[in-house]
């Protein structure tokens, strides 16, 4: 059984791109969420030992998801993948408990480097 991985992004194209960017042979069980509400539900159900999270989404944005994960003391490892490349956005998500911030469009090598740097692959 692979690592429960949640990809939470309102863009179908972005979810597919993240999936295609995963390291070859990485043993993960992928769940998808199209907004923060679905994302936090999946976290609560144990589908997100690892979470790739967009910031700009309808219903509940990535910041709100991070705040709830922190409040509810979930152990999810969160990597934010967002087009919002403002330095303030990166600083804010790291303060909220995200492990790393990767800008969109995601690059397969960059993702692999981040995962290796933190000993996740």
Mean pLDDT of 8-28: 96
Q: What is the pLDDT of residue 25?
A: 92
pLDDT above 90 for 117: yes
pLDDT value at residue 4? 98
Q: Is 94 exposed, middle or buried (0-12, 13-18, 19+ CB in 10 A)?
A: middle
Residue 105 neighbours by CB distance under 10 Å: 12
pTM summary value: 0.95
- What is the dotted CATH code of the domain comprising 3-117? 3.40.50.2300
Give per-residue pLDDT as tens, 48-77: 999 999 999 999 999 999 999 999 999 999
Q: Is the pLDDT of residue 1 over 90?
A: no
**Would you give the distance in Å from CA 31 to the centre of its chain?**
11
3-state secondary structure of 29: strand
What ranges do the domains of the chain cover? 3-117
If pLDDT is split at 50, 70 and 90, which confidence band does 44 have?
very high
38 Cβ neighbours under 8 A, 6+ residues apart: 8
Helix extents (H) in the chain: 12-21, 36-44, 62-71, 87-95, 108-117
């Amino acid at each position: 059984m692979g690592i429960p991985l949640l990809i939470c992004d309102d863009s179908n194209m972005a979810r597919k791109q993240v999936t295609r960017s995963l390291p070859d042979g990485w043993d993960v069980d992928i769940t998808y969420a199209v907004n923060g509400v679905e994302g936090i539900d999946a976290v609560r159900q144990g589908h997100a030992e690892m979470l790739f999270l967009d910031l700009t989404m309808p219903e509940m944005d990535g910041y709100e998801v991070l705040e709830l994960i922190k409040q509810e003391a979930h152990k999810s490892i969160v990597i934010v993948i967002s087009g919002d490349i403002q330095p303030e956005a990166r600083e804010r998500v790291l303060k909220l408990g995200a492990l790393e911030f990767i800008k969109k469009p995601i690059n397969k090598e960059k993702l692999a480097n981040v995962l290796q740097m933190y000993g996740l692959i």
